Every structure is written in structure tokens, then in C-alpha cells.
Amino acid sequence: MSNSLPEQTKTPAPAGVFTLVITGAPYSSQAPQTALHFARAALAANKRIDRVFLYGDGVHLASSLSTPPSDELNLSEAWAGFMAENNIPGVACIASALRRGLVNESEMQRHELSAFNLRAPFEIAGLGEWVDSAASESRVLYFHRGS
Amino acid sequence: MSTLIIIDQPPYGSWEGREALDMAFSLAAFDQPVSLLFCGAGVNWLRKGQDATTIQQKSVERNLAAAPVFGVEALLADNKACDHYGLTEEDLLDPVSITDFGPELTSRFDHVAFAG
């Protein structure tokens, strides 16, 4: 029986720049930690990460209020530190974020909420940020919750 | 740059499919070619006559009706999944085409993304 997979003659995008899309939530899924390990390995191999985009349940990663026990890894803090050290922009999708109670100061005011909880350097923006990456030369990798 | 968004989640069990639909609509809004493929339990998105009022949700049928308006190029249903759920073309929304989900299909797109 012959292999029916088409021969791959070229990669879909140059394997030098990556966009990471994280849709799995911290602590409910391994997605944010796997993505962080990938990101560290990519930079160590002289690759670039142009953007981290949080979507769906992945927006919980940008919460400034997550407070795991002190002997556990704080994934939000680890990601925020990594992005700040390496000047990587992090964006949480606004629709996903507002639906799940993750807001910045301006959204707090707009929706007359009592608090905001977006952790710097994450920002809140629309899906256009993801479209921008998808339409660029970046290779877009998705980190889902898994089944 | 053409994109295939794959929805493999049932319509009312989580928000992942709805959020994947938003991704497709967003690409279309920015004039990027996009098609949607429904596979696995995701083919249930495509049933005619859905009513989600008792669970206080909007019917995904209504969301999908907007796909051609937004400029989504094709709504595709995986043949095997349709068989599995006993769905024929008559059971599915009008603009849907039944197709075989495999490398021949995905290789026609520059970018393939699953709902979750």
C-alpha cells in the first residue's frame, strides 16, 4: 500500500518566526506551560516569536489575580516575566476576555465594573491581531487544551 | 493566504466552536479567504431546524447563516462524520457540501486551525 500523504516540498511558512496561540487555560490544561517551554526553546535556537495571542479559555493566563500555592509554578507570572524579558507582545482577545471576566482598566470603565485584573505586559485587543499574524509570514502554532 | 478552520466540537457543549466561528468571520472581515470544515461531533452544527431557546443560547444555525454574508467561502462537512451521525445532505443547511476530510483537502489551504 502506498503512502497517500502528499509529498511536502516546502514548509507553509519560514520556520524562523512564530506566533503562539494559546486556547487552553492554565491549571485546567497543559497548554500554557507547553507553549512556554516551546517559546524558550525557540528563542534558544535563535528563532523569533512575534506575538502571543490568548484566545478562548487561554485568556485566564493573563489574570493578575491567579495565586497558586507558593510551591507551585505561577504560570501567569512566568509567562508575563518571559514576555517582558524578551519584548514579546502578548494579546488577549477582547471578546474571549470580557466573556470570562478578564478586563483592563478601560474596559472596567466602559462596562462600569468594580475592578480590573489584566496582568502587564498583556494587552486586550481584537481578533485582528491574530488575523495579522495568520496573514503574515509567521508560522502560527496553536496550544489547545487537548482532549 | 487561505485558511481552513476546523470545528470538531459539538455545537452546545462548549464555546470553542462559537469562538472558532468568530475566527473565521474575522478573517473574512479582513478579506482573507476562509472556509469552515465540520468533522466529528462538529457536524451537528449543520443540522437544520435547531432550537436552543430552552438552554438560553442562540441557535448556531443562525450564526452559520451569516457565514456567506461575511464572505466565508465554503461550509464543508466531513463525509465519515455525517455517516456516523446519520446525516444526509437533506438534513444539513443549504450551503453545506459533504467532502472527504484528509490531506488532499487540507493541502489546498495555507493555514489550517482546529477549534480546540
Structural contact between residues A64 and A104, judged by C-beta atoms closer than 8 angstroms: no
Query: How high is the pLDDT of residue A14?
Result: 57
Query: CA B116, CA B111: separation in Å to the nearest integer?
Result: 15
Calculate how close chain A gets to B112, using CA atoms only, in Å: 9
Would an 8 Å CB–CB cutoff place A78 in contact with chain B?
no
Residue A93: active-site member: yes
Query: How high is the pLDDT of residue B99?
Result: 97
Which of B1, B102, B104 faces A135 most closely, judged by CB atoms? B1
Burial call A37-48: b when 16+ CB within 10 Å, e when fewer = ebbeebbeeeee
Per-residue pLDDT averaged across B56-60, rounded? 93
Domains located in chain A, CATH noted:
17-66+73-143 (3.40.1260.10)
Confidence class for position A2, pLDDT limits 50, 70, 90: very low
Q: Terminal CA-to-CA distance of chain B, rounded, Å?
A: 21
CA angle B64, B116, B105 (to 5 degrees): 70
Average model confidence (pLDDT) across chain B: 95
Q: Which of A3-7, A78-82, B108-112 has the lowest mean pLDDT?
A: A3-7
Closest CA to A130 of A100, A104, A105, A96: A96
Domains located in chain B, CATH noted:
3-114 (3.40.1260.10)
